[in-house]
């Protein structure tokens, strides 16, 4: 799939899946359905090429037409969802003897005497077409490229779908030059030209990694970069933030949905997204896309934007910048939510003429509940499968599935019971003995722990008045690295500092949670075994505080388990102790709105969607993802 939007004018997006010989089907059409309305709503003219339209020749023609239609100062956005492959370099300009290439619809996967990559879209060819567009746009324009593809192999066991191959399009006797530069980007920037528009490109994974499709809440699979981009697009389209900050948000989201791959960013990352001068709203707003009658309507936000059923909304006249200072023209509740749209029931009838142009703000947010699809594959242990199926059916948060899944319980080659994720990360493994009580308890505990961790990772809540920010800093001796969002890579044993800053207008209380690679959730602030209470962690407006570990040391140490780890900051206007709520999966008593909402959401046995809401001003949440590597 290729998508080309041109300036707030357009971009060009490429269609669906490559059907040349040898390619497996993927779900790029879902990316198109997700991103097209999001991009169009931001003022882009969207042109798409999908399936048979997305041949190499038609992609090149579409880029040439975009160049002709664009004007100096315009913005051009190019998105590709599909396969990628490495091809023998015909130009002699690649250190390793390979060109990176996108795979159009008509490009085969196999090298032959009659085919050596003529229908692949090489990095040099795409770069040349984009340089022509950049010259046309000039220095006041902007080119943004996102590539939801990869060049590495599919999984050996085929549990999920990845968008690439480790098979080179090369003769059988071809040898890769070992002196090649590692992890070269698809779009390599040549000598900067002051007369051309800056270019920024995001890729879904590094060259050595597979790009795994993600199974979303609507049951469909998406490319993780496309999904993350669609989720964070709205808040960045007009707020004056940089591409570096946009990438940090995308990377943080992908750390949750695609934890085994590392997205990459290249180019002028310090550029402002779109260079827009529009005034930002104090909160992201939504709009009405369909009115059924004077009390039922549909809006352009959904589960992708954390709009769960039960969320309370307030409707204001269009262009309202400070919604809390005025009385809303209507209020309502989300009755049903899909990925990018939701159905709303208004509290009182309102005429279509008034409600159609309203701007919609979240008044009280419902946090939703954890949902996890579980598949059982235990052919040698039918009694265990039956007992486990019976046990798991008692949890509303778990859905048994024979098709797509988040977690699989299977037998290992050695006969052990293994719990594994859809991207082949082994959560736990243990020998099974009859009777099966221990094995059932083992699998149940691992699955529930993983479900709770996934829910917490995905949990978001933004607020205009409570604005606490977490910053992780590596000491100057290690390069003075720091991050406020996105990913920080640390070696085992490396030390770092954690600062929290209150940038809001209200004082707030701090909780800090650590979600480890093995799904264990640890309360860092207040510490799990500490005598300190939430009341001890009050942060005044404008205050910056360096957090101390359990032994009263300002230095924190990166330690096993290795892998991707998320540190989540939760700031509240009332003190909340999350330790008991987390340890008991929501069974502990909670007295605050956020505590009650979290407790209900963590309660895996709870059925129905009557999760308590938290009102605007109650909390804010921020996350930083760490990659802890072996020393």
Q: Which of 22-26, 253-257, 319-323, 525-529 has the highest mean pLDDT?
A: 525-529
Contact residues for 97 (Cβ-Cβ < 8 A; gap 6+): 88, 89, 174, 175, 176, 177, 180
pLDDT single digits (tens) 4-29: 665 433 333 333 333 556 677 889 99
Q: What are the DSSP calls for 6-73, one per residue?
A: ESSSEEEEE-S---STTPPP--HHHHHHHHHHHHHTTTPEEEEE-GGG--HHHHHHHHHHHHHH--TT
Three-class secondary structure of residue 572 per DSSP:
strand
Contact residues for 568 (Cβ-Cβ < 8 A; gap 6+): 456, 457, 459, 512, 513, 514, 515, 621, 622, 623
Residue 105: closest CA among 147, 54, 47? 54
Kindly state whether residue 461 falls inside one of the protein's structural domains.
no
Strand order in the sheet with 398-400: 398-400, 372-377, 407-411, 417-421, 426-430
In this prediction, residues 66-78 reach a mean pLDDT of 94
- How far, in whole angstroms, is CA 20 from its chain's centroid? 29
Please tell me the predicted confidence (pLDDT) of residue 18: 35
Query: Is residue 510 domain-shared with residue 550, that is, in the same domain?
Result: yes
Measured N-to-C along each axis, helices 123-137 and 56-69 cross at an angle, to the nearest 10 degrees, of 10
**Does 184 score more than 60 pLDDT?**
no
CB 441 within 8 A of CB 176: no
Which of 78-92, 347-361, 415-429 is least confident? 78-92
Kindly state whether residue 347 falls inside one of the protein's structural domains.
yes
Query: Is residue 186 domain-shared with residue 58, that is, in the same domain?
Result: yes
pLDDT band at 255 (very low <50, low <70, confident <90, very high): confident
Q: Is the peptide bond before 302 cis (omega within 30 degrees of 0)?
A: no
**Does 624 score more than 50 pLDDT?**
yes
Q: Which of 158-167, 174-183, 329-338, 400-409 has the highest mean pLDDT?
A: 329-338
Query: Is residue 376 domain-shared with residue 358, that is, in the same domain?
Result: no
**Does 421 score more than 80 pLDDT?**
yes
The 8-class DSSP code of residue 268 comes to: -
Neighbouring C-beta atoms of residue 561, cutoff 10 Å: 12
pLDDT band at 70 (very low <50, low <70, confident <90, very high): very high
Please tell me the predicted confidence (pLDDT) of residue 563: 85
Kindly state whether residue 279 falls inside one of the protein's structural domains.
no
Please tell me the predicted confidence (pLDDT) of residue 155: 43
**Does 180 score more than 50 pLDDT?**
no
In this prediction, residues 110-126 reach a mean pLDDT of 83
Q: What is the rounded distance in angstroms from the CA atom of residue 462 to the CA atom of residue 467?
A: 8
Kindly state whether residue 281 falls inside one of the protein's structural domains.
no
Please tell me the predicted confidence (pLDDT) of residue 161: 65
Query: Is residue 244 domain-shared with residue 107, that is, in the same domain?
Result: yes
pLDDT band at 2 (very low <50, low <70, confident <90, very high): low
Six token digits for residue 576: 């909340």
Neighbouring C-beta atoms of residue 142, cutoff 10 Å: 24
**Does 90 score more than 80 pLDDT?**
no
CATH number of 299's domain: 2.40.10.410
pLDDT band at 294 (very low <50, low <70, confident <90, very high): very high
Query: Is residue 246 domain-shared with residue 305, that is, in the same domain?
Result: no
Name the pairing type of β-strands 98-102 and 121-122.
antiparallel
Residue 437: closest CA among 502, 485, 473, 383? 383
Kindly state whether residue 458 falls inside one of the protein's structural domains.
no
CB 591 within 8 A of CB 576: no
CATH number of 615's domain: 2.60.40.10
Report CA-CA distances (Å) from 424 to 83, 230, 576: 20, 25, 36
Three-class secondary structure of residue 455 per DSSP:
helix
**Does 495 score more than 80 pLDDT?**
yes
**Does 446 score more than 50 pLDDT?**
yes
Six token digits for residue 484: 């406020």
Kindly state whether residue 207 falls inside one of the protein's structural domains.
yes
Percent of the chain surpassing pLDDT 90: 28
Query: Is residue 497 domain-shared with residue 443, that is, in the same domain?
Result: no
Please tell me the predicted confidence (pLDDT) of residue 581: 74
Domain boundary among 267, 294, 318: 267
Please tell me the predicted confidence (pLDDT) of residue 280: 43
Kindly state whether residue 410 falls inside one of the protein's structural domains.
yes
pLDDT band at 460 (very low <50, low <70, confident <90, very high): confident
Neighbouring C-beta atoms of residue 471, cutoff 10 Å: 18
CATH number of 415's domain: 3.40.50
Q: Give the chain's domain count.
A: 4
pLDDT band at 303 (very low <50, low <70, confident <90, very high): confident
Six token digits for residue 206: 């590094």
Query: Is residue 296 domain-shared with residue 183, that is, in the same domain?
Result: no
pLDDT band at 179 (very low <50, low <70, confident <90, very high): very low
Domain boundary among 234, 267, 300: 267
Query: Is residue 93 domain-shared with residue 152, that is, in the same domain?
Result: yes
Six token digits for residue 294: 């004077």
Query: Is residue 34 domain-shared with residue 182, that is, in the same domain?
Result: yes
Domain boundary among 366, 391, 425: 366
CATH number of 210's domain: 3.40.50.1460
In this prediction, residues 151-167 reach a mean pLDDT of 57
Which of 345-354, 380-389, 461-470, 491-500 is least confident? 461-470
Q: How close are the terminal C-alpha atoms of the chain, in Å?
A: 41
pLDDT band at 524 (very low <50, low <70, confident <90, very high): very high
pLDDT single digits (tens) 330-385: 999 999 998 788 999 999 999 988 898 888 998 888 877 667 899 999 998 888 89
Long-range contacts of 399-403 (CB under 8 A, 24+ apart): 399/371, 399/372, 399/373, 399/374, 400/373, 400/374, 400/375, 400/376, 401/373, 401/374, 401/375, 402/375, 403/375
Please tell me the predicted confidence (pLDDT) of residue 160: 56
What residue numbers bound the domain in which 446 lies?
372-452
Three-class secondary structure of residue 189 per DSSP:
coil
Q: What is the mean pLDDT of the chain?
A: 80
Kindly state whether residue 459 falls inside one of the protein's structural domains.
no
Report CA-CA distances (Å) from 205 to 15, 140, 430: 20, 29, 32
Please tell me the predicted confidence (pLDDT) of residue 84: 85
- How far, in whole angstroms, is CA 619 from its chain's centroid? 21
Beta bridge partners of 302: none
CB 72 within 8 A of CB 11: no
Query: Is residue 89 domain-shared with residue 173, that is, in the same domain?
Result: yes
Q: Which phi-psi region, left, alpha or beta, contains residue 625 (left: φ > 0; alpha: ψ -120 to 50)?
A: beta
Give the predicted TM-score (pTM) of the model.
0.69
**Does 447 score more than 70 pLDDT?**
yes
Query: Is residue 108 domain-shared with residue 238, that is, in the same domain?
Result: yes
Q: What is the rounded distance in angstroms from the CA atom of residue 361 to the CA atom of residue 328?
A: 10
In this prediction, residues 79-100 reach a mean pLDDT of 72
pLDDT band at 249 (very low <50, low <70, confident <90, very high): confident
**Does 387 score more than 60 pLDDT?**
yes
**Does 214 score more than 50 pLDDT?**
yes
Q: What are phi and psi of 593, to 5 degrees?
A: -55, -45
pLDDT band at 239 (very low <50, low <70, confident <90, very high): low
Where is 248: in which H helix or E strand? helix 243-257
Which of 173-182, 465-474, 518-527 is least confident? 173-182
Q: Which phi-psi region, left, alpha or beta, contains residue 590 (left: φ > 0; alpha: ψ -120 to 50)?
A: beta
Percent of the chain surpassing pLDDT 70: 77
pLDDT band at 259 (very low <50, low <70, confident <90, very high): confident
- Using alpha carbons only, how large is the chain's radius of gyration in Å? 25
Largest CA distance in the chain: 74
CB 604 within 8 A of CB 396: yes
Query: Is residue 376 domain-shared with residue 406, that is, in the same domain?
Result: yes
Please tell me the predicted confidence (pLDDT) of residue 181: 44
Where is 595: in which H helix or E strand? helix 593-602
């Amino acid at each position: 799939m290729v998508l080309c939007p041109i300036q707030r004018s357009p971009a060009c997006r490429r269609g669906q899946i490559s059907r040349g010989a040898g390619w497996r089907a993927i779900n790029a059409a879902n990316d198109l359905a997700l991103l097209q309305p999001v991009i169009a709503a931001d003022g882009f003219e969207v042109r798409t090429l999908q399936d048979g339209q997305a041949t190499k020749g038609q992609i090149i023609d579409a880029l040439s037409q975009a160049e002709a239609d664009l004007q100096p100062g315009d913005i051009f956005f190019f998105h590709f969802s599909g396969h990628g492959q490495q091809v023998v370099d015909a130009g002699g300009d690649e250190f390793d003897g390979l060109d990176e290439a996108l795979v159009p619809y008509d490009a085969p996967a196999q090298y032959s005497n009659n085919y050596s990559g003529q229908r692949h879209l090489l990095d040099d060819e795409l770069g040349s077409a984009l340089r022509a567009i950049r010259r046309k746009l000039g220095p006041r324009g902007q080119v943004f490229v996102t590539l939801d593809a990869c060049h590495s192999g599919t999984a050996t066991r085929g549990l999920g779908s990845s968008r690439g191959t480790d098979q080179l399009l090369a003769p059988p006797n071809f040898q890769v030059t070992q002196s090649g530069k590692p992890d070269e980007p698809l779009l390599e920037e040549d000598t900067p030209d002051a007369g051309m528009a800056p270019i920024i490109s995001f890729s879904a994974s590094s060259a050595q990694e597979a790009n795994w499709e993600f199974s979303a809440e609507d049951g469909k699979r998406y490319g993780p970069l496309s999904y993350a981009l669609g989720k964070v697009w709205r808040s960045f389209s007009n707020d004056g933030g940089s591409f570096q900050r946009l990438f940090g948000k995308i990377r943080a989201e992908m750390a949750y949905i695609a934890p085994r791959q590392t997205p990459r960013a290249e180019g002028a990352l310090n550029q402002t997204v779109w260079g827009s001068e529009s005034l930002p709203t104090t909160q992201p707003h939504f709009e009405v896309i369909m009115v059924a009658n004077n009390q039922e309507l549909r809006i352009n936000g959904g589960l992708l934007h954390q709009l769960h059923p039960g969320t309370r909304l307030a409707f204001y006249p269009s262009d309202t910048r400070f919604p809390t200072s005025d009385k809303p023209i209507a209020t309502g509740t989300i009755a049903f939510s899909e990925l990018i749209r939701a159905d709303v029931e208004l509290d009182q009838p309102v005429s279509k003429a008034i409600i159609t142009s309203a701007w919609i703000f979240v008044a009280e947010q419902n946090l939703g509940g954890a949902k996890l699809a579980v598949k059982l594959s235990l052919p040698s242990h039918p009694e265990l499968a039956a007992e486990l199926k019976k046990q798991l059916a008692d949890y509303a948060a778990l859905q048994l599935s024979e098709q797509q899944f988040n977690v699989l319980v299977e037998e290992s080659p050695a006969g052990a019971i293994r719990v594994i994720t859809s991207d082949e990360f082994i959560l736990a493994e243990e020998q099974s003995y009859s009777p099966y009580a221990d094995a059932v308890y083992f699998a149940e505990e691992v699955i529930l722990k993983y479900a709770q961790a996934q829910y917490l990772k995905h949990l978001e809540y933004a607020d205009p008045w409570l604005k606490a920010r977490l910053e992780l800093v590596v000491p100057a001796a290690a390069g003075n690295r720091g991050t406020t969002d996105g990913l920080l890579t640390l070696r085992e044993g490396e030390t770092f500092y954690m600062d929290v800053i209150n940038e809001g207008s209200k004082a707030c209380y701090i909780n800090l949670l650590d979600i480890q690679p093995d799904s264990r959730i640890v309360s860092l602030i207040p510490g799990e075994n500490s005598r300190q209470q939430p009341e001890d962690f009050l942060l005044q407006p404008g205050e910056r505080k360096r957090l101390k570990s359990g032994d009263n040391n300002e230095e924190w140490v990166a330690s096993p388990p290795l892998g991707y780890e998320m540190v989540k900051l939760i700031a509240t206007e009332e003190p909340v102790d999350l330790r008991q709520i987390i340890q008991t999966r929501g069974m502990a008593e909670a007295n605050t709105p956020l505590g009650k909402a979290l407790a209900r959401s963590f309660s895996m046995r709870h059925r129905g969607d009557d999760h308590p809401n938290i009102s605007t001003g109650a909390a804010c949440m921020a996350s930083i993802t760490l990659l802890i590597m072996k020393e």
